[in-house]
């Protein structure tokens, strides 16, 4: 009996320790998450540029040092230089939505590697919550001195228990004068879980020397509320009336008894 009790006690302690470890692991995952940026060119894939990124203490703002980034792009033989690049979010989300945004201004040198993909990611969002949701992204592109052959393409992604991608939002310039673009893309998240990540990816093909693209990518996820069962709604609506009727009947009975 004593051995059984000791074994049960050890099993209980082990289970508790395992549970605490899992909770701690989940907390760390939910708590992690500055906004990060990577670049992909013809010669590198998903190269982390965190060395050039300044993140705010609350993890909602990220600013890329374009001097450092442009130096790296030059070393890689890229055709692009940035005037500004950054992102922001409402990390770790609210009961209404989780958001991740990116914006910047890129210029083509006209020579060099014209393949460039910028990926922005933030992990550890804990809200909103719900059984299912929506991923929605608004994309803008403002080309100047571009024209035919110059384009951008955007995708966004929710990463939870399953990954859902929206896009692409493609834009090809058709004129050398200012050429603006605005498009909304979206996708349904059939199974929404937390913590989750949000990712924005933008790729450029801008071979024309001096052409610029001022862009924004604004992504948000929202959840779909679970409708209350009809029976519960009916009960909650009818209950006050039933209570009032019972109270009236009781008072009437008391009044009649007093009169008698």
**Tens digits of residue pLDDT in 155-211:** 999 998 889 999 999 999 999 999 999 999 999 999 999 999 999 999 999 999 999
Whether residue 253 is contained in a domain is answered as no
**Residue 82 is encoded by which pair of tokens?**
């940035």
Host domain of residue 8? 1-31
Same domain, 76 and 193: yes
For residues 150 and 78, give the distance between their C-alpha atoms in angstroms, rounded to a whole number: 16
Q: Mark whether 26 and 41 lie in a shared domain.
A: no
25 domain residue, yes or no: yes
User: Which residues have a Cβ under 8 Å from the Cβ of 138 and sit 6 or more positions away?
Assistant: 182, 183, 184, 216, 217, 218
Would residue 106 count as lying in a domain? yes
Residues 129 and 9 in one domain: no
CA distance to 16, 62, 104, 120, 254, per residue, from 158 (Å): 32, 19, 22, 12, 64
141 shares its domain with 163: yes
Cα(91)–Cα(119) distance, rounded to whole angstroms? 18
**pLDDT value for 29:** 39
User: How many residues make up the chain in this entry?
Assistant: 260
173 to each of 70, 151, 169, how far by Cα in Å?
24, 6, 13
**For residue 254, is it within any domain?**
no
Task: Looking at the structure, tell me whether residues 23 and 124 fall in a common domain.
Answer: no
Question: Is residue 24 located within the same domain as residue 132?
Answer: no
Q: Does 5 lie in the same domain as 109?
A: no
- Answer whether residue 250 is part of any domain: no
The model's pTM: 0.77
Q: What six digits make up the tokens of 137?
A: 């992204």
Residue 73 in domain: yes
Q: Are 211 and 154 found together in one domain?
A: yes
Considering the domain architecture, whether residues 25 and 71 belong to the same structural domain is answered as no
Span 132-142, mean pLDDT?
97
Residues 153 and 129 in one domain: yes
| Residues 120, 161 within the same domain | yes
Domain match, 92 and 20 both: no
Is 259 part of a structural domain of the chain?
Answer: no
Q: Inform me whether the pLDDT recorded for 139 exceeds 50.
A: yes
Inside any domain, residue 135? yes
Per cent of the chain over pLDDT 70 is 74
Q: How many folded domains does the chain comprise? A: 2
The residue with greater pLDDT, 248 or 153, is: 153
Q: 36-52 pLDDT, tens per residue?
A: 999 999 999 999 999 99
């Amino acid at each position: 009996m004593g051995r059984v009790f000791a074994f049960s006690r050890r099993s209980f302690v082990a289970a508790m320790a395992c549970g605490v470890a899992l909770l701690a692991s989940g907390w760390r995952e939910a708590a992690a998450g500055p906004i990060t940026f990577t670049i992909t060119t013809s010669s590198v894939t998903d190269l982390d540029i965190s060395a050039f990124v300044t993140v705010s203490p609350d993890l909602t703002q990220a600013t890329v040092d374009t001097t450092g980034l442009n130096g790296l792009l030059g070393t890689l033989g890229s055709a692009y230089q940035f005037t500004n690049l950054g992102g922001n979010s409402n990390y770790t989300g609210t009961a209404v939505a989780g958001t991740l945004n990116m914006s910047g201004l890129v210029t083509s040198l006209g020579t060099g590697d014209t393949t460039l993909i910028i990926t922005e990611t933030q992990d550890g969002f804990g809200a909103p919550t719900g059984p299912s949701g929506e991923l929605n992204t608004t994309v803008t592109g403002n080309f100047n001195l571009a024209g035919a052959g110059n384009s951008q393409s955007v995708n966004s992604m929710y990463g939870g228990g399953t990954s859902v991608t929206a896009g692409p939002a493609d834009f090809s310039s058709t004129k050398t004068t200012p050429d603006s673009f605005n498009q909304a893309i979206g996708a349904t998240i059939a199974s929404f879980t937390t913590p989750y990540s949000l990712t924005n990816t933008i790729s450029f093909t801008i071979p024309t020397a001096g052409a610029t693209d001022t862009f924004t990518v604004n992504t948000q996820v929202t959840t779909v509320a679970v409708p209350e069962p009809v029976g519960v709604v009916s009960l909650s609506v009818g209950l006050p009336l039933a209570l009032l009727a019972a109270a009236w009947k009781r008072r009437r009975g008391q009044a009649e008894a007093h009169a008698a």
